[in-house]
């Protein structure tokens, strides 16, 4: 007998028929003699619809009230799934994040899980009940409801698997595993049988939303047995683990991210401490900076460009404007008309020439590169918005990922 955590995404519980389909998967697992903890997302586009509703009332609503609103979507699917399982005649109980003992920090809209007290869940499991938990949420130490960021139900599932020492954490979604790239963009993309935590973490952080990046981080930290599979086909999924067979694969996957904005500060005095001033200011305001590019100094002046999430651009522009004298620059500009495309693969470290091959493919497609960032297992480029799908396709081709 095993303890299995099963997470179902929004499309898997989108309507009554899908809810019963999920109830079937869960109850089959239970009937095989396993204990089951289920984590659900909000149905279909519920979260987007709730955001729209909020915007009609107040586009500048506080993050606390947004979390109060958005967390309700998961409560609907948890209770509906429990009702379906009740109808199938099996013992079940649904819980909110708070009832499940999930405590987070107070960073509304992208809170991090701090602690899980699994006592209540264990109690229910001991009484042989199937436990359903709302994904995407917890409560802060002030008892406010928090949410974990878009796609955060994956993280709820992995965190519960770690806290309850589950034998397996299954992420059920609308594709049957992790592919070499988003199969919606490249239909020939190939399903991967296995992928390393590190590669998956990069892909997820670089825009492959099939898994929430923090869920992968947590699975690696607590060595959770993690797999991604489809709720509709029951085919074998993708196993995410520490070490996999490298074969000849230099590049494991390609990802794109359209949520990027670039800011450039021009004519900064070429003296020590300028980068420190800019980036400590942003850090103080909890703004994550991604790619950074600094030009070499000319005539005692240099330029610095960097990228942030588009959701932060207004805040960054305000900060830069109000700190112009403190930082000291001549001019600044920004754009949201950029995207980031990345290649990821643990095999890159030992294979020189991967970046050159990437740039060749982009050159052949006449795609201009604005910025470049590399690590041991990834190369990212910033390109014009609108070119990202073409870039993903040509890179997928160049590295022969469909073969």
Residues making contact with Mg ion (CB under 5 A): 9, 151
Residue 6 interacting with ligand ASP (CB under 6 A)? no
Angle, helices 313-322 vs 274-284, to 10°: value is: 130
Residue 224 CA: distances (Å) to CA of 40, 159, 162, 215, 220 = 19, 9, 6, 10, 7
Q: How far is the CB of 112 from ligand ASP (least distance, A)?
A: 15
Angle, helices 213-222 vs 197-205, to 10°: value is: 160
Which of positions 224-253 make contact with ligand ADP (CB under 6 A)? 253
**Stretch binding ligand ASP (CB under 6 A), from 61-69, 149-157, 281-289, 345-353:** 149-157
Residue 184 interacting with ligand ADP (CB under 6 A)? yes
**Stretch binding ligand ADP (CB under 6 A), from 5-13, 98-106, 265-273, 376-384:** 5-13
The binding track of 8-27 with respect to ligand ADP, each residue x by CB under 6 A or -, is -xxxx---------------
The binding track of 118-147 with respect to ligand ASP, each residue x by CB under 6 A or -, is -----------------xx-----------
Beta strands in 96-167 (DSSP E): 102-104, 113-116, 130-134, 137-139, 145-147
Beta strands in 70-152 (DSSP E): 92-95, 102-104, 113-116, 130-134, 137-139, 145-147
Residue 179 tokens, joined: 């592919």
Q: Residue written as tokens 């980068």?
A: 275
Give the span between the Cα atoms of 110 and 113, in whole angstroms. Answer: 10
Residue 151 interacting with ligand ASP (CB under 6 A)? yes
Residue 47 interacting with ligand ASP (CB under 6 A)? yes
Give the span between the Cα atoms of 397 and 336, in whole angstroms. Answer: 28
Residue 42 interacting with ligand ASP (CB under 6 A)? yes
Residue 153 interacting with ligand ASP (CB under 6 A)? yes
Run of H or E residues at 230: strand 226-230
Residues 6 or more apart in contact with residue 207 via CB below 8 angstroms? 255, 256, 257, 258, 259, 340, 342
The binding track of 51-80 with respect to ligand ASP, each residue x by CB under 6 A or -, is ----------------------x-------
Instruction: Choose the contact partner of 309 out of ligand ASP, ligand ADP, Mg ion, none; CB within 5 to 8 A by kind.
Output: none
Q: Choose between 72 and 323: whose C-beta lies nearer to Mg ion.
A: 72
Q: How far is the CB of 110 from ligand ADP (least distance, A)?
A: 16
Q: CB-based burial of residue 60 (10 Å sphere; 0-12 exposed, 13-18 middle, 19+ buried)? A: exposed
- Kindly tell me which residue out of 173, 213, 307, 339 binds ligand ADP, with binding defined by CB under 6 A: 173
3-state SS, residue 304: strand
Residue 10 interacting with ligand ASP (CB under 6 A)? yes
Interacting residues toward ligand ADP by CB under 6 A: 9-12, 41, 151, 173-175, 178-179, 181-184, 208-210, 253
Interacting residues toward ligand ASP by CB under 6 A: 9-10, 41-42, 47, 73, 135-136, 150-153
């Amino acid at each position: 007998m095993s303890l299995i955590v099963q997470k179902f995404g929004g499309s898997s519980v989108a309507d009554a028929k899908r809810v019963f389909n999920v109830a079937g998967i869960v109850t089959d697992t239970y009937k095989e003699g396993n204990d089951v903890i289920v984590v659900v997302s909000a149905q279909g586009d519920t979260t987007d619809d709730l955001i729209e509703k909020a915007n009609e009332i107040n586009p500048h609503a506080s993050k606390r009230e947004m979390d109060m609103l958005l967390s309700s979507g998961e409560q609907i699917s948890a209770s509906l799934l429990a009702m379906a399982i009740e109808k199938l005649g099996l013992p079940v109980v649904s819980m909110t994040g708070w009832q499940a003992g999930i405590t987070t920090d107070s960073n509304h809209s992208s809170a991090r899980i701090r602690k899980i007290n699994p006592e209540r869940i264990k109690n229910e499991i001991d009484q042989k009940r199937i436990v359903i938990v709302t994904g995407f949420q917890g409560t802060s130490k002030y008892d406010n409801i928090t949410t974990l960021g878009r796609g955060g139900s994956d993280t709820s599932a992995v965190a519960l698997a770690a806290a309850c020492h589950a034998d397996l954490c299954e992420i059920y979604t609308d594709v049957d595993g992790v592919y070499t790239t988003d199969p919606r963009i490249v239909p020939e993309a190939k399903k991967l049988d296995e992928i390393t935590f590190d590669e998956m973490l990069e892909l997820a952080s670089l825009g492959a939303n099939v898994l929430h990046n923090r869920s992968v981080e947590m699975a690696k930290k607590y060595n959770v047995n993690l797999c991604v599979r489809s709720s509709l086909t029951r085919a074998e999924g993708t196993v995410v683990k520490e070490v996999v067979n490298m074969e000849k694969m230099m590049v494991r996957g390609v990802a794109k991210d359209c949520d990027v904005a670039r800011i450039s500060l021009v004519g900064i005095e070429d003296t020590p401490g300028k980068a420190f001033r800019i980036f400590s200011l942003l850090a103080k305001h909890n703004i994550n900076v991604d790619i950074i590019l600094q030009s070499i100094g000319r005539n005692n002046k240099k330029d610095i460009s960097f990228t942030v999430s588009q959701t932060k651009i207004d805040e960054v522009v305000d900060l830069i404007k109000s700190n112009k004298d403190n930082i000291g620059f001549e001019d600044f500009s920004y754009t949201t008309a950029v995207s980031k495309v990345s290649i990821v693969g643990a095999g890159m470290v030992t294979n020189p020439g991967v970046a050159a091959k990437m740039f060749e493919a982009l050159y052949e497609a006449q795609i201009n590169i604005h910025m470049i960032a590399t690590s041991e297992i990834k190369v990212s480029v910033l390109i014009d918005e609108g070119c990202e799908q073409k870039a993903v396709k040509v890179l997928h081709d160049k590295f022969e990922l469909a073969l």
